[in-house]
Amino acid sequence: MTGKAAGQQSSKCCVFNAWGYGVGRAQTIGMILLITPSARAQECARALEEATSEPAQVAASLRQAATQLREQEFLAVVVDQSLVEAEPEESDLVLQHIGTAIPVYVNFAISGIERVVRELRAALHRRKREVAVARQAAEQALRNELKDTLTALLLSSEMALRGAELSADAAGRLQTVQELAQSLRGKLGMVD
């Protein structure tokens, strides 16, 4: 490889292996962000990591958290309510960058680490149920949409096969279309 080609090759590899792609992204998508100025923040982050098997990062302020949220995606964001009440504008900034992360608000002044862990687990469990319900609804909507189209395709091909004189080639193709539609109908669980 020439020097120019080698340079282009290595730059492509660097782009592919950047944080936003591949393994780096896959490994960071499940992170938890803990936003609190509490002296026990690191201890709480370790407890969250142990409870969820997901890495946790700590931000001591809402501004720090907004920066981290702009740079990475998180599964959940655990926010100290005292920060939200003390800095409502900064709180809005965090919410603008939260993306698909689950917000969990906890009052660290009256909550122990065990309660923070319980709140996060409950929020993750709710999200898991919501995703499952949304997936089922999407699948059902797709089935309903495809059902009418497949029925029309099957009826049209059946009528064409029974109707006019067709060449053997055309009849074979229509038969193939009908068989494929029947197969798709079976795969989608659409039984009359």
Residue 39 DSSP symbol: T
Kindly state the helix (H) or strand (E) to which residue 57 belongs, with its residue range: strand 56-59
Phi/psi at 56 (5° precision):
-125, 140
* Banded model confidence at residue 29, pLDDT cuts 50, 70, 90: low
Residue 180 has a pLDDT of 86
More confident residue, 90 or 6: 90
Residue 68 parent element (H or E): helix 62-71
Domain positions in the chain: 25-119, 136-187
CA angle at 47 for the pair 21 and 127, rounded to the nearest 5°: 55
CA distances from 162 to 149, 155, 158, 180, 185 (A): 20, 11, 6, 18, 21
CA quadruple 136, 141, 142, 148: dihedral sign: positive
Residue 11's pLDDT is 41
Report the pLDDT value the prediction gives residue 178, as an integer from 0 to 100.
85
| Phi, psi for 33 (deg, rounded to 5) | -110, 125
What are the pLDDT digits (tens) for 80-96?
A: 998 988 988 888 889 88
**H/E run at residue 80:** strand 76-80
The more confidently predicted of residues 2 and 143 is 143
Provide the pLDDT confidence category of residue 28 given band limits of 50, 70 and 90: very low
Given a cut of 60, whether residue 24 has pLDDT beyond it is: no
Chain mean pLDDT for the chain: 82
Q: Which fold has domain 25-119?
A: Rossmann fold (3.40.50)
Average pLDDT over residues 18-30: 45
Report percent pLDDT > 90 for the chain: 43
Cα separation, 184 vs 191, in Å, equals 11
Residues 44 and 46: their CA atoms lie apart, in Å, by 5
